[in-house]
């Protein structure tokens, strides 16, 4: 790139307005390199490093995905994302964040995912599914408008102990025997995930849900063998790896952002243990175990955490990314993939802003914007 063009390009990047809308011709030439590079995870080749993180849609009944999920995820696959990590998907009915969550605790749910994963693949993207148990943050009330206005009977919030989250009812402490059964629940859901057409699975160990509550010293004060805080998560990862031959990702809260909670140093050590369990990548987030005032106040910390964890294992990270320049900067700081969250909710074709070639049906519209 000549000096004059480089200076002009840099000036255009600096003066882009706050909406995050970029001139894609410029970015294709100047920024397209790392965001558009493919990446391989244990044999799974992903076309670029712009990934969709798991974000609950709260649109399911009985854990079964439907047309909403086909349209939502299909649009983002067509829009150019490399890997779509499907929203929190419960491994057991009472492990849902809300009654509107999707699940993989039965074969009917797995079958309903098949046309969705098939369309994602047709668009050239890959898909992982986040397997989860909400623990003490399980929600018995619908998260969105529903004919079912009241709580779903029979739900049993569980946790390492009896300390509630915020103003939630107190959970029941799991017995040692019950905890020992949890890895098999995740493994069975992982098998269904592969049957459903998913290319990878992600274990949700962040945001204050069950596995995170075992990892954190704030919530795990047990005196049995599961007082070893990483043990359950390691058992889950080992069971899933033994059950399926696909990459296993783990989402972690790198810090609890409070005194006495997890710190980044703890999470770096945890990453070393997960590497030994065969985990392919760490998906870095944070917080969620205790209430906090503003997500915006903490998410700027995540890329720095990810850079440190990335010395142990490949990493993907959120970080309030609104425009391609932010994502490119994260990759240049040692992060392997940029997770585009809220920006992808208002723009399903966000990767086209970074120079991704559109499908033929969209080409004229993209050319008009460029």
Q: Catalytic amino acids?
A: 209
DSSP 3-state of 39: strand
Task: Say how far apart CA 185 and CA 92 lie, in whole Å.
Answer: 7
H/E stretch holding 98 reads none
The rounded distance, in Å, linking the Cα atoms of 138 and 94 is: 7
Give the orientation angle of helix 176-196 with respect to helix 231-243, to 10 degrees.
Answer: 30
Q: Cα 331 to the chain's mean position, in Å?
A: 17
Structural element, H or E, at residue 350: none
Beta strands in the chain (DSSP E): 39-41, 44-46, 50-52, 83-90, 102-103, 126-132, 158-159, 172-173, 200-205, 248-253, 281-285, 315-317, 337-339
Q: Quote the CA–CA distance of 46 and 25 in Å, as a whole number.
A: 23
* Phi-psi domain of 287 (left: phi exceeds 0; alpha: psi -120 through 50; beta: other): left
Beta pairing partners, 129: 86, 201
Could you tell me how many residues make up the chain? 370
DSSP helix/strand/coil, 337: strand
């Amino acid at each position: 790139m000549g000096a004059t063009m480089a200076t002009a390009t840099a000036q255009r990047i600096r003066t882009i307005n706050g909406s995050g809308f970029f001139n894609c011709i410029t970015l294709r030439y100047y920024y397209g390199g790392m965001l558009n590079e493919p990446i391989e995870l244990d044999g799974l080749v992903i076309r670029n490093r712009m990934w969709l993180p798991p974000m609950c849609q709260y649109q399911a009944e009985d854990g079964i995905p439907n047309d909403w999920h086909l349209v939502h995820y299909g649009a983002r696959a067509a829009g150019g994302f490399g890997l779509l990590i499907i929203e929190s998907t419960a491994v057991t009915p009472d492990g849902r964040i809300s009654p509107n969550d999707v699940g993989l605790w039965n074969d009917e749910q797995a079958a309903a995912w098949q046309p969705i994963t098939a369309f994602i693949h047709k668009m050239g993207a890959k898909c992982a599914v986040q397997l989860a148990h909400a623990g003490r943050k399980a929600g018995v009330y619908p998260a969105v408008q529903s004919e079912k206005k009241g709580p779903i009977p029979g739900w049993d919030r569980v946790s390492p102990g009896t300390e509630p989250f915020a103003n939630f009812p107190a959970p029941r402490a799991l017995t040692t025997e019950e905890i020992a059964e949890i890895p098999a629940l995740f493994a069975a859901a992982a098998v269904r995930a592969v049957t459903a057409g998913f290319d990878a699975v992600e274990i949700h160990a962040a945001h204050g849900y069950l596995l995170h509550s075992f990892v954190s010293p704030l919530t795990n004060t047990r005196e049995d063998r599961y007082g070893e805080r990483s043990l359950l998560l390691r058992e889950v990862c080992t069971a899933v790896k033994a059950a399926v031959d696909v990459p296993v990702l783990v989402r972690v809260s790198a810090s609890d952002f409070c005194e006495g909670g997890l710190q980044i140093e703890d999470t770096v050590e945890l990453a070393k243990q997960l590497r030994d369990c065969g985990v392919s990548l760490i998906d870095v987030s944070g917080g969620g175990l205790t209430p906090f005032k503003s997500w915006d106040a903490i998410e700027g910390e995540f890329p720095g955490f990810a850079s440190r964890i990335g010395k142990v294992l490949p990493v993907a990270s959120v970080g309030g990314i609104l425009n391609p320049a932010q994502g490119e900067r994260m990759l240049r700081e040692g992060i392997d993939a940029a997770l585009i969250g809220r920006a992808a909710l208002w723009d399903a074709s966000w990767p086209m802003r970074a120079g991704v070639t559109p499908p033929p049906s969209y080409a004229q519209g993209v050319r008009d914007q460029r």
